[in-house]
Amino acid sequence: MNRADVIPESHLDLLTRPLFGHFATIRPDGAAQVNPMWFLWDGENLKLTNTTTRRKYRNVSVNPRVALSVIDPTQPYRYLEVRGSVVRIDPDPEGAFFQVLADRYGMAMDGPVADAADRIVFVIRPDRVSAQ
């Protein structure tokens, strides 16, 4: 199955524009957690940058089932929710993927990525969406 088929064409712009996503994970004790995050949609998977020192990394290592909510800031009742699983956690030891996201979101970098050694990439396969 082509994962891109999961995302409705009508709401694809919410993944391709540099909007903030709200990323839901489940903590090891079973509680919900949700945090704003940068993301990239590569046409097949969602990719997020994180580090091995964060709670979110521990959460998805224990329970890979996650969800991302994005609203259109110009039409806030227009939104997309993507539910899926973290299918891979890739190392990003040079911070190269972090830099891709920093560029996408217009964050000026004044040097190398400080925590590059701990940087990783969550690769999320979308399974279901809801949209309005």
Residue closer to a second copy by CB (options 65, 88) is: 65
Which residue's CB is nearer to a second copy, number 33 or number 94? 33
Judged by beta carbon, residue 79 or residue 89, the one nearer a second copy is 79
What string of H, E and C letters represents the secondary structure of the chain?
Answer: CCHHHHCCHHHCHHHHCCCCEEEEEECCCCCEEEEEECCEECCCCEEEEEECCCHHHHHHHHCCEEEEEEEECCEEEEEEEEEEEEEEEEECCCCHHHHHHHHHCCCCCCCCCCCHHHEEEEEEEEEEEEEC
| Interface ranges with a second copy (CB under 8 A) | 20, 22-26, 30-36, 63, 65-69, 71, 73, 76, 79, 81, 83, 130
Nearest distance from residue 78's CB to a second copy, in Å? 10
| Closest CB 12 distance from a second copy, rounded Å | 18
